[in-house]
Each structure stands twice: as C-alpha cells, then as structure tokens.
Structure 1
C-alpha cells in the first residue's frame, strides 16, 4: 500500500450533519477521493458550528476549517486542496474560502487552492441539469417534480434561479424551490395549483438527508413542504435522500477537486 505524502492533503469541507445514517454519502465521496489521490492525506471539515457541536457531543471529532488547517499544519502539510461539498456559493462556502485564503496569504502554507461548490459556474448548471435526468423518477407524465434547496440570504442564492432557467429548457415540469429565500413553499404552491398535476414528486436538493430533509421537507408537521402540498389536495411522493448520494453530482464536485489539485501541484 502506498504511503501518503508528508506534504499534501485534501480537505473535504461540508456543511455537515449529526445523523450517522445521513453521513453515508460522505463516506462514499471519501472513498472515491482516496482512490483518486492515494498519496494525499484526506480529512474533513464541517462549516456548521451547530453540526460540529452535535458531532462532538456524540464523542466524535468534528473540525472547523480553521481547526482542520491547524492539524494539517502541525503535521507538516504544506500543499492543500480544499474541496467544498456545498451546493451553492453562499455564505458557508464564502466564509470557508476566505479563511483558507487568509491563512495562505499569512504564509502558513506553500500552496492552497479551494475547489468550488456544485453550482459554481454556467457549465456546472448545465451538468447539474443533465444529472437531474437520473435523479428524478423516470415516468412523470401528468406529474411535477419539486426540488428543494437550502437557499441563502446571500447573492449566491441567484444560482437557484439560474439553474431553474436551465432545467426549464430540459423539462418544464421540474420546479426548484428553497427553504430560505424565494421561491419558497408559498410560491411553489401557487405554481402547483395553477398546473394541477396528478402527482407531485418532492425531492431534496441538499447534500445529505439531515434535519432539513427529515423535518422541513418530508416531516409530518403542518409547516413541512410535504404537508403543505398534501393539504392543498395533491398527492405528494417524498424521497428522503441527498444529492451527495447521486454520482453525476459527485462527479461535478470531483472535477472541481481535480482543478484544485492541479493548481496546488503546479
């Protein structure tokens, strides 16, 4: 077995989740990364403080991006590729990227490059739209699929509207809503009631099936998206999954990582 480099490391940076079964997708990504870069050390960082507290309470290690960089620096790592596993270029990604750049500029590392989130460029939008072909149910005549992203109070939120435009050209029966910002459930319901589909397929557009998927999207509470759609008189079929479990989306993140690795090694 090859030994890992004493100087090169990959940091996989995700929002995170405290649900152990929801982290299975993270394990698959890590396996793919280790297979692609066997000479690189691979570690995780979680950008949500709440998630880190929850993981720590369960007795497991949960690094922030700062603490992950501290650990790698202490081990003598000098060349780092940090890959975001966020969906949109929102505040979580931006804060993580800024932290990395500040530490690079401070001279703590010889090279450090950050790979972008899933929806980082017009090319990413096209690839993501194509990936939806196999993420959604195959037969949807007379049906509508609703994807629910996290959203953001940040300029990066615009990527959801941009993705909707690209997706509409492929399939006008796919709607993209967000938990934060517009279009929220109220706007999505207005569209659904106008179209009156026989069935609505409700799918998360978040990395992992954590709290937001379990409660805000698929939950039994009156405010969940599933409950609101059903109360409006439509049949709602919910899939509790995460996009990190879908290989075409992971391929996009890994393409960004390849660019980051190349930049670090050049």
Structure 2
C-alpha cells in the first residue's frame, strides 16, 4: 500500500477577494439588467476580484428554477465563495433602506464572521457588509440630489410620485426623511414619495398632490431592482387597487414611468461608490 506523506498545512489558492451583490430578486429583464450593471461597475474597479450575485427571495429563486436557472440565496453564494478559497468577501446589498431585508442579511454575515480568522472553523479572513442606499444622513442628500437630477425637470402642472412597492419593514421613517430632504433639494414639492404597504400611503399622497395643485402625475417605482411586483402594485393591469387606477379614479391624469429608480446610472453609481468607500476604509480589497 502506498503511503502519501503530507507536509505542512497545504497552500490555499490565490485569491484577490470576492464581491457578492445581493438583491431581493426579480424575474424581470429590467431588474436583471440593474444587477448586471452593478456587477460590471464593481468589476471595473476590482478587476481581479470575483464578482457574483444572489437573490434573497426564495419565491423568486423557485420561479427562476422552474425556468431552468439556478440563482443562489445569500448563504449558498457565500458558502461557495468561501469554498473556492476567497479569504475576503464583500457583500453589497441592493436594498433601499436598512429594513427587514438588510436585517435578515446582516446576522448571516455576522454568524459567518464568527467562524473566520486564521484558526477559525472556516479559515478565511472575513466578510465585509456594505450599506443599503439609505443609511446615514448624508446618504439622503446624495440620493435626493440624484433623484432631482433624474426627475426634477417638471412642467408646472406635473408631479412625480416615487412609489415604494414593497414594505421596507419598519423603516417608513426613512421614506419620510427622504421626502423632507427632497423638499429641501427640489424646492418645488413636486417630487412626492409614497408606500404601497406603509407610510406615507395613497391617501397622504393624494392630499399632498391636492396641496400642490397638479392633476398630472408620473408614477415611478422607488426601488433599486424593479420586479413584476412593482409594476402590479403601481400599474396593475386588471388590478383595480393599483396606484394608477386609484389616482385616475381621483381625477388625476396618470403616466407610469417605464424605468425604475435603480435603472439610472446616477443611482447605481452611488451604490458602487458606497461600496468602494467602505472597502477602502477597511483596506479590504486591492484595486
């Protein structure tokens, strides 16, 4: 019998780190393009790193699986990157606020980090989690300026309503803060924020539109990665409870924007810039 003698602890494969983009998930081509755009921009900054993505929504992953595509959840994606030998991994969430989805992702990263270190169970350096679009006070001003640059050129009789199509999970105050900052930035009050499942709701939005005095409204999904759920809640098709139908029923002329907020470079550039700033502050990846 041949005896194989192993010396030392073996050599880990060379790694330049990895970046995991995490979105709630979407089956829509427009939403998938937002994810692809973010990945491309990250790859341009860190050309040697592995850049990949995961969807946190199990229902979306199951639909995609039925269509023949396997998209991992965050845990499976991180486990795969660790198994490949990546010592340092950066997680960039494509979430609007630090709501439910962020609070589901953060403990996962924290738990894995407890097993990191040279002599840890998993034997990697660690995972650095970046922030959602809105986290700190300065974020609101940066995002408000971007929204103003995208939608601010309005006619006197027009208003834009940015609709959050899904619950942000206890972070409605973040939407209210963004509204206040938008008012400071735009000076017109014609950029209005609403939430399908939360505050400010449709009645608050109608009250604000009445105060502005406009009858022409453009609806925009206030989400980074738009999915079918956004268009159902906003435009609705046969759904009589859509915001478009509710506002039309109140006498408004309503147009639904064909692009979600995250489809604009001004927004994805902010996401990538935030990640770069966080990575650089921890000297986590090499450019």
TM over 0.5: yes
> Residues 1-266 of structure 1 correspond to what in structure 2 (within 5 A)?
6-107=15-116, 108=122, 109-136=124-151, 138-150=153-165, 152=167, 154-171=169-186, 172-220=189-237, 221-262=239-280, 263=282, 264-265=284-285
Answer whether contact 2:148 2:185 (CA < 8 A) is retained.
no
Equivalent-residue separation in structure 1 for 2:149 and 2:229 (angstroms): 23
Equivalent-residue separation in structure 2 for 1:245 and 1:115 (angstroms): 20
Answer whether contact 2:164 2:222 (CA < 8 A) is retained.
yes
Equivalent-residue separation in structure 2 for 1:100 and 1:10 (angstroms): 13
TM normalised by structure 1 equals: 0.92
Q: CA offsets per residue over residues 6-58 of structure 1, 9 Å max, x none?
A: 25100001111012343112211111111111010011011111111112211
SS in 2 for 1:80: strand
Equivalent-residue separation in structure 2 for 1:5 and 1:95 (angstroms): 31
Higher Rg: 2
Query: 1:265–1:42: structure 2 CA closer, same or farther, 3 Å change rule?
Result: closer
Query: 1:101–1:259: structure 2 CA closer, same or farther, 3 Å change rule?
Result: farther
RMSD: 1.9
SS in 1 for 2:196: strand
Q: CA offsets per residue over residues 150-186 of structure 1, 9 Å max, x none?
A: 4536343321111011001123111101122111112
SS in 1 for 2:171: helix
Answer whether contact 1:124 1:252 (CA < 8 A) is retained.
no
Answer whether contact 1:204 1:243 (CA < 8 A) is retained.
yes
Equivalent-residue separation in structure 1 for 2:219 and 2:19 (angstroms): 34
TM normalised by structure 2 equals: 0.86
| Partner residue, 2:10 | none
Deviation of the 1:77 alpha carbon: 1.1
| Partner residue, 2:4 | none
Equivalent-residue separation in structure 2 for 1:56 and 1:166 (angstroms): 41
Equivalent-residue separation in structure 1 for 2:211 and 2:277 (angstroms): 44
Query: 1:239–1:91: structure 2 CA closer, same or farther, 3 Å change rule?
Result: same
Deviation of the 1:129 alpha carbon: 0.5
After TM superposition, the structure 1 stretch with the greater mean CA deviation from structure 2, 120-129 or 194-203, is 194-203
Query: 1:210–1:237: structure 2 CA closer, same or farther, 3 Å change rule?
Result: same
Answer whether contact 1:214 1:240 (CA < 8 A) is retained.
no
Answer whether contact 2:98 2:132 (CA < 8 A) is retained.
yes
Query: Mind listing any 5+ residue stretches in structure 1 that lack a counterpart?
Result: none
